[in-house]
Amino acid sequence: MNDARLNDDANERGSAQNHGASVGLTADKITIRGGIPLVGRIEVKGAKNLVTKAMVAALLGETPSVLKDVPNISDVRIVRGLLEVHGVKVTEGAEPGDLILDPVDVESAHFAAIDAHAGSSRIPILFCGPLLHRLGEAFIPDLGGCRIGDRPIDFHLEVLRKFGAVVEKQPNGIRMSAPNGLKGAKLELPYPSVGATEQVLLTAVRADGLTELKGAAIEPEIMDLINILQKMGAIITVDTDRVIRIEGVERLLGYNHRALFDRNEAASWAAAALATDGDIFVGGARQPEMITFLNVFRKVGGAFDICDDGIRFYHPGGDLKPVIIETDVHPGFMTDWQQPLVIALTKAHGTSIVHETVYEQRFGFVDALVEMGATIQIHKECLGGHPCRFGQRNFNHSAVITGPTQLHGADIVVPDLRGGFSHLIAALSAEGTSTVSNVGIISRGYENFIGKLRLLGADFDLEG
Name the residue nearer to ligand EPU (CB basis): 6 or 439.
439
Whether 388 is catalytic: no
Report in angstroms the alpha-carbon separations of 251 from 54, 62, 273: 17, 7, 47
Neighbours of 400 (CB within 10 A): 14
Q: Answer yes or no: is 48 a known binding residue.
A: yes
Residue 329 vs 450, nearer CB to ligand EPU: 329
The amino acid sitting at 403 is G
Neighbours of 105 (CB within 10 A): 9
Q: Does 213 bind ligand EPU (CB under 6 A)?
A: no
Distance, in Å, from the CA atom of 287 to the CA atom of 279, rounded to the nearest integer, reads 17
Select the residue interacting with ligand EPU from 152, 316, 332, 387 (CB under 6 A). Answer: 152
- DSSP letter at 148 equals S
> What are the DSSP calls for 181-225, one per residue?
--B--EEE-SS--HHHHHHHHHHHTTSBSEEEEES----HHHHHH
User: Does 80 participate in binding ligand EPU (rule CB under 6 A)?
Assistant: no
> 119-146 b/e with 16+ CB inside 10 Å = b?
bebbbbbbbbbbbbbbbebbbbbebebb
To the question of whether residue 49 is assigned a binding role by annotation, the answer is yes
| Sign of the CA dihedral with 66 first, then 239, 151, and 340 last | positive
- Interface with ligand EPU in residues 413-432 (CB under 6 A): 417-418
> Which one of residues 132, 194, 368, 414 is an interface residue with ligand EPU (CB under 6 A)?
194
Q: Determine the Cα–Cα distance for residues 65 and 102; give it in Å rounded to an integer.
A: 6
Dihedral sign from CA coordinates of 193, 195, 199, 202: positive
445 is an interface residue for ligand EPU by CB under 6 A = yes
313-316 contacts: CB < 8 A, separation 24 or more? 313/269, 313/270, 313/273, 313/274, 313/279, 313/280, 313/281, 313/282, 314/273, 314/274, 314/278, 314/279, 314/280, 315/37, 315/273, 315/274, 315/276, 315/277, 315/278, 315/279
Instruction: Please provide residue 401's backbone torsions phi and psi, each rounded to the nearest 5 degrees.
Output: -115, 120
Cα–Cα distance, 228 to 256 (Å, whole number): 8
- Measured from the Cβ of residue 37, the count of other Cβ atoms closer than 10 Å reads 19
Binding status of residue 359 toward ligand EPU by CB under 6 A: yes
The binder of ligand EPU chosen from 38, 160, 196, 439 (CB under 6 A)? 196
Rank residues 361 and 375 by Cβ distance to ligand EPU and give the closer one: 361
User: Minimum distance between the CB of residue 240 and ligand EPU, rounded to whole angstroms?
Assistant: 20
Segment contacting ligand EPU (CB under 6 A): 80-88, 148-156, 232-240, 453-461?
A: 148-156
Distance CA 227, CA 257 (A): 9
Minimal distance in Å, beta carbon 81 to ligand EPU?
16
Q: Which of 172, 191, 295, 307 binds ligand EPU (CB under 6 A)?
A: 191
Tell me the three state secondary structure of residue 11. Answer: helix
Per-position x/- string for 290-319, each x denoting binding to ligand EPU as judged by CB under 6 A, each - no binding: ------------------------------
Q: For 71, phi and psi rounded to 5 degrees?
A: -75, 155
Q: How far is the CB of 132 from ligand EPU (least distance, A)?
A: 17
50 or 311: CB nearest ligand EPU: 50
With CB under 6 A as the contact rule, which of the stretches 151-159, 307-315, 343-351, 405-413 interacts with ligand EPU?
151-159
From the CB of 345, what's the least distance to ligand EPU, in Å? Answer: 19
Q: Segment 109-138, which members bind ligand EPU (CB under 6 A)?
A: 122
What is the nearest approach in angstroms of ligand EPU to the Cβ of residue 316?
A: 29
- Alpha helices for 205-290 (secondary structure H): 220-232, 263-275
Site residues (CB under 6 A) for ligand EPU, limited to 336-355: 336
**Nearest-CA neighbor of 145 among 171, 170, 169, 119?**
119
The interface mask with ligand EPU, positions 155-184, x = CB under 6 A, is xx----------------------------
Q: Please pick, among 128, 146, 382, 388, the residue that the annotation labels catalytic.
A: 146
Q: Is 231 annotated as a binding residue?
A: no
Confirm whether residue 172 is marked as ligand binding.
no
* CB contact at 8 A, 86 and 106: yes
- Least Å distance between CB 80 and ligand EPU? 15
Does residue 193 bind ligand EPU (CB under 6 A)?
yes
What residues from 248 to 287 belong to the interface with ligand EPU (CB under 6 A)? 264
The answer to whether 82 contacts ligand EPU (rule: CB under 6 A) is: no
Q: Of 56 and 280, which has the nearer Cβ to ligand EPU? A: 56
Q: Is 8 assigned a ligand-binding role in the annotation? A: no
Closest distance between ligand EPU and the C-beta of residue 263, in Å?
A: 11
User: Which residue numbers belong to the known binding site for phosphoenolpyruvate?
Assistant: 48-49
User: Which residue numbers belong to the known binding site?
Assistant: 48-49, 122, 336, 358
User: Which residue numbers belong to the known binding site for UDP-N-acetyl-alpha-D-glucosamine?
Assistant: 122, 336, 358
> Could you list the active site residues?
146
Q: Which residues make up the interface to ligand EPU (CB under 6 A)?
A: 48-49, 122, 146, 149-156, 191, 193-196, 217, 219, 264, 334-336, 358-359, 417-418, 445
